Amino acid sequence: MIVPTRPTRVAHVRAALLGAAAFVAGCAPPTREERAAELFQYCTQCHGDRGEGRIEYGAPAIAGLDAWYVEAQLVKFRTGTRGDHPEDVEGLRMRPMSRALASDDEVRLVASYVASLPPVPSTPTLEGDPERGRTLYASCVQCHGADARGNRAVGAPPLVGASDWYLLRQLRKFRDGVRGTDPMDPTGAQMRPQAVALGDEQSMRDVLAYVSTLAREVSP
């Protein structure tokens, strides 16, 4: 029998250790970034692979949204504070998707991943009078800001860059009581009287036409 020399034995041991390390690496749990990307797959069917949104599903563009806002909305959907009204078709679709996230930490992971995605520019789809909309937007400034960039302190999301068709649907929901009536939704309760004050469809379109001009002004 040939006895391996010392260098050969060392080579065998080294190879075994490298093989063991490769096996352990292959079985290592995913990093938080990898797990966030995995969890985002729940969102892609409706919101798209890049978070660009899909109008046929009523799913808005979410790429680049502030993590705090995404997290807040996911929590609302998970708890039924939002998306529990029988006339909120898109909200009812979102509820089970949000509850597929198993913990608060997974909610935060998805929110941070969405925030890290490059924003996808939206194209205006509505006709409205931006000059009239400028006047009407005065009631929105206190929460959403003069530049429509939002205000975390009052839970107001940015409006610039959002799809106008989506914002119009949300204004209708607030006006009609489909959103903003749950006692556990204080930010929704703030929005509802604003939408009611706008009242008619044309006023909503005019405000959103003005917001679209702000989106163009702040674009790089």
Q: Which residues contact 198 (CB under 8 A, 6 or more apart)?
A: 136, 171, 175, 204, 207
Q: How many C-beta atoms lie closer than 10 Å to residue 84's C-beta?
A: 14
DSSP string of 162-201, one letter each residue: S-HHHHHHHHHHHHHTSSS--TT-HHHHHHHHHHHHH-SH
Contact assessment for residue 132 and residue 105, using Cβ atoms and an 8 Å cutoff: no
* Confidence bin at 29 (pLDDT 50/70/90): confident
- Position 5 pLDDT exceeds 70: no
Tell which wins on pLDDT, 44 or 9. 44
Strand partners, 156: 151
State the sign of the Cα–Cα–Cα–Cα dihedral 109, 179, 47, 68: negative
Tell which wins on pLDDT, 218 or 114. 114
- Position 9 pLDDT exceeds 90: no
Q: How many C-beta atoms lie closer than 10 Å to residue 218's C-beta?
A: 12
Q: What is the pLDDT of residues 83-108, one digit of tens each?
A: 999 999 999 999 999 999 999 999 99
* Confidence bin at 210 (pLDDT 50/70/90): very high
DSSP string of 131-173, one letter each residue: HHHHHHGGGTHHHH-TTS--BGGGTBPP-TTS-HHHHHHHHHH
Q: What pLDDT, on the 0 to 100 scale, is given for residue 218? A: 53
Q: What pLDDT, on the 0 to 100 scale, is given for residue 28? A: 81
35, 95, 174 from 188: Cα distances, Å: 31, 17, 8
Q: What pLDDT, on the 0 to 100 scale, is given for residue 20? A: 45
Q: What pLDDT, on the 0 to 100 scale, is given for residue 154? A: 94
Q: What pLDDT, on the 0 to 100 scale, is given for residue 12? A: 45
State the sign of the Cα–Cα–Cα–Cα dihedral 179, 181, 182, 186: positive
Task: Give the number of C-alpha atoms closer than 13 A to the C-alpha of residue 154, restricted to the C-beta side.
Answer: 15
* Confidence bin at 130 (pLDDT 50/70/90): very high
> Residue 104 and residue 75: Cα distance in Å, rounded?
8
- Position 169 pLDDT exceeds 90: yes
